[in-house]
Amino acid sequence: MSKFEITPRLLKLLHGADYNPEQWLKVPGVFEKDIEYMKKAGFNCVTVGVFSWSMLEPEDGVYNFDWLDKVINTLYENGIYTILATPTGARPVWMTHKYPEVSRVEKNLVRNLHGGRHNHCYTSPVFRRKTREMNTRLANRYANNPAVIMWHISNEISGQCFCPLCQAAFREWLKKKYGSLEALNDAWYTTFWSQRYTDWEQIEPPVDHGMTVDHGLNLDWNRFCTDQTVDFYKEEIKPLKEANPGIPCTINLMMFHTALDYSKFMPYLDVVSWDAYPMWHNHTDDFGNALATAFNHDWMRSYKDKPFMMMENTPSTTNWHGASRLKAPGMLKLSSIQALAHGSNTVQYFQWRQSNGSCEKFHSAVVSHRGKDDTMIFKNVAEVGDILKKLNDDIYYTTVNAKVAIIYDIENKWAIEDSKGPRNDGMYYNDIAMSHYRAFWENGVSCDVIDSTKDFTKYDILIAPMLYMLKGDVPKRLAEFVSSGKTLISSYFTGLVNETDLCYNGTLPALGLDQVFGLWEEDMDALCDHQSNEIVIKDGVLSGSHRSLYICDLVHPTTAEVIGEYGKDWYKGWPALTKNSFGKGEAYYFATHPDYSLLKPFYESLIDKYGIKRALGAALPFGVTASIREGENGEIVFIENFLHESVKISLPAGREYKDLLSGETVSSEIELEALGARVLK
Ligand code: GLA
Ligand code: ZN
């Protein structure tokens, strides 16, 4: 498979939805209607089987695949492929009652009754056996059926289990990691509050009525839960890969979900997919929603540096936001084009048909309870189907190539969020990462969102906000990055602890980063939510006074040049922004979090310095963004207007573009309607 391809069995942009035909097996005519409507909506695939376990195995060891055979084969005869899910998103009631160990134990150490979904113990040998037995049957039956193009493993895999089996597995995991209790005690700093362990059996998971204050334990528990979930996933795919290694496997990841460290799944996932549920038209403006969604798209693409799947988004409303706002005219098209712009090769929905009962009956679907195709939602979905067909040949074999990256590291985030002080009111890791990211997004400059363990060498600009935890060879690679002639930007709360959250002693930021930034940090003053300071810049294009928030680091430049000073408080005049030449490159240090009024021109000057490509050559009006996908046949420019009013956009002088949706040739200036989008070649 080439890096652009989602699945070898269907080399096209995918358009589809979660489909649960098992809910209507008793109602004549629904399946036939579904097929008729799917064709009308321009679907080429559906995701089947996500929650079908009790229909596939109605009793322990009694299987029924007849209905699924009919669904998959009839869809295929009608040109619709199946993404087949393993049914472990939810398990049958009989299993819970027959094998109590499969139910998850919550943090209060009480075992759950049957309920909801996920809710399983991923360690349980019984649950693993039942999963293997099911998946082996699915694989033997469908892995070589040309209708099945992909495996969708479980659903939004997540959660932690605190049962005795998981606790025992945690202790084994720790033994493997540390070798001796002595090493574990040192790594977790257990002399504090008399916590030293003298027997592996004494180690309990972090629960609210137990040990909560040991940051090393908390981190390792999160790491263990990630590893245990990855291990479960690896067992899930084993029979599928044995039956046919060529069928790709994915799990649908979630927006800003960081309870698991998704990076650990990547060696075993063929394609990244995720579920996009921004709160369009809800309590934040759509520009903020668009920014967060763009950041998540780029995060997902960056995991494998290749096209990904938007596995779910709602055709109109969710039913779990505060208020279920219908997507305004244009919004579905715009959000679909946004996904494509950031490298998705699919637009898929939850869900095809609205269920009649239970808790998602008011979540919108392509086909609602009214059963009609003459609705705004249906027409919007069909329009997206047309758009995907029109764009297919030009964009399928393209992707986003970024020269800028932001480090968004999940273990680092866990540690920052667990830290007591300096700001228990919030360190805002997500928001701060997004505020740096925004400057590129608004300028039409592609940006990757990466883990700190990823290779940095292909980037010109690397931003590492609050790189609190230093992992492995990261400090060394950061130094090499800068000395090779590139630019690194970091901030307060950087280079303070190791991988078990033990503070470094001596000069900070640690492990040579003081040399890279040309300064040493003495202390940090945390501001209350209602307080701010200022970064005052005396000369140059950034000159002026810019508000700053959250933390004010007190730093002493050694070789760094002071670009901005604090404008207030008793440390007025101390450095607030510095720049250091290190080898052939430069490293900037924001001692405090600047307002966007500084971040935007700051990054614009770096974009210009490196001559980094802006999608439309110039800055864009507020509310509008643009991005580029490129491939062997050139560049495709996507323009998105997240304002609820029309806006005029200047195109680069002397260039003509083909509007791939209207077929027109455009140049000099175009007008985008409210929530409008264009795709230009
Ligand atoms: C998630 C799940 C779906 C559905 C949607 C509703 O993304 O994967 O099964 O519950 O949420 O928005
Ligand atoms: Zn368990």
Strand 398-399's sheet: what is its strand order?
398-399, 624-631, 634-641, 677-680
User: How are beta strands 148-152 and 249-250 bridged, if at all?
Assistant: parallel
Question: What is the rounded end-to-end Cα distance, in angstroms, of the chain?
Answer: 26
| Ligand 1 closest atom vs CA 50 | 9
Q: Please give the angle made by the CA atoms of 40, 46 and 48, to the nearest 5 degrees.
A: 140
Q: Which atom of ligand 1 is nearest to the CA of 314?
A: 12
Using CB atoms within 10 Å of the CB of residue 611, give its burial: 0 to 12 exposed, 13 to 18 middle, 19+ buried: exposed
By alpha-carbon position, which residue is closest to atom 11 of ligand 1? 350
Nearest ligand, CA 105: 2
The pLDDT, as a whole number, for residue 285 is 82
DSSP of 269-284: -SS-EEE----TTSSS
Give distance in angstroms: CA of 447 to centre of ligand 1: 28
CB 496 within 8 A of CB 508: yes
> Does the 404-609 domain belong in CATH 3.30.470.20?
no
As a whole number of angstroms, the distance between CA 558 and CA 594 comes to 22
Q: Which residues line ligand 1 (CB under 6 A)?
A: 155-156, 275, 277, 312, 318, 350, 360, 363
Pocket test for ligand 1, best of 350, 352, 353, 366 (most atoms within 8 A of CB): 350
Give the residue from 657, 677, 484 showing the smallest Cα distance to 582.
Answer: 484
The whole-number pLDDT of residue 619 equals 83
The CA-atom distances, in angstroms, between 258 and each of 42, 192, 299, 372, 546 are 34, 28, 12, 39, 32
Which is the closest atom of ligand 1 to the Cα of 312?
Answer: 7
Starting from the CA of residue 111, give the closest ligand: 2
Residue owning the nearest CA to atom 4 of ligand 1: 350
Atom of ligand 1 nearest to the CA of 318: 12
What local confidence, expressed as pLDDT, does residue 103 receive? 98
Q: How much distance in Å is there from the Cα of 137 to the middle of ligand 2?
A: 25
Q: What is the pLDDT of residue 633?
A: 85
Q: What is the pLDDT of residue 275?
A: 98
CA of 296 to the centre of ligand 2 (A): 30
> Which of 156, 250, 251, 252 for mutating ligand 1's site (highest number of atoms within 8 Å of CB)?
156
Distance CA 512, CA 130 (A): 51
Predicted confidence at residue 83, as pLDDT, reads 99
Mutation probe of ligand 1 site: the residue of 154, 254, 275, 279 with most atoms within 8 A of C-beta: 275
CATH class of the region 624-680: mainly beta
Q: Whose CA is nearest to atom 5 of ligand 1?
A: 350
Distance CA 543, CA 439 (A): 18
Distance (Å, whole) CA 604 – CA 484 = 22
CA of 277, closest atom in ligand 1: 12
Closest residue by Cα to residue 289 from 402, 465, 414, 441: 441
36 given a catalytic annotation: no
Residue tagged active-site, from 156, 236, 442, 604: 156
- The ligand that comes nearest to the alpha carbon of residue 251 is 1
- Report which ligand 1 atom has the smallest distance to the Cα of 320: 12
Q: Which ligand is nearest to the CA of 362?
A: 1
CATH topology identical between 404-609 and 624-680: no
Angle (nearest 5°) at CA 511 between 506 and 513: 100
Entry pTM: 0.98
What is the Å distance from ligand 2's center to 103 Cα?
8
Domains of the chain, by residue range, sit at 404-609, 624-680
What is the DSSP code string of 651-663?
PPTT-EEEBTTT-
Q: What is the distance in A from the centroid of ligand 2 to the CA of 204?
A: 13
Distance of alpha carbon 607 from alpha carbon 487, whole angstroms: 11
Q: Cα(350) to centroid of ligand 1, in Å? A: 6
Would you state the pLDDT for residue 214? 96
Among 5, 236, 312, 640, the one annotated catalytic: 312
Q: Quick count: other Cβ atoms within 10 Å of Cβ 528? A: 9
* Atom 7 in ligand 1: residue holding the nearest Cα: 275
pLDDT along the chain (681 residues), means of 10: 95 98 97 98 98 98 98 98 98 98 98 94 98 98 98 98 98 98 98 97 97 96 98 98 98 98 98 97 88 98 98 97 95 98 98 97 98 98 98 98 98 97 97 98 98 97 98 98 98 98 98 98 98 96 96 98 98 98 98 97 96 93 96 95 96 96 97 97 97
Å from CA of 123 to ligand 2 middle: 5
CA–centroid distance, residue 18 to ligand 1 (Å) = 9
* Most ligand 1 atoms within 8 A of CB, residue of 20, 83, 119, 155 to mutate: 155
Catalytic status, residue 630: no
Q: Which residue, judged by its Cα, is nearest atom 3 of ligand 1? A: 350
Q: In angstroms, what is the span from residue 155 Cα to ligand 1's centroid?
A: 8
Residue 209, Cβ neighbours under 10 Å: how many?
Answer: 8
Ligand nearest to the CA of 313: 1
Token output for 608: 């210009």
Q: Of all atoms in ligand 1, which is nearest to the CA of residue 254?
A: 7
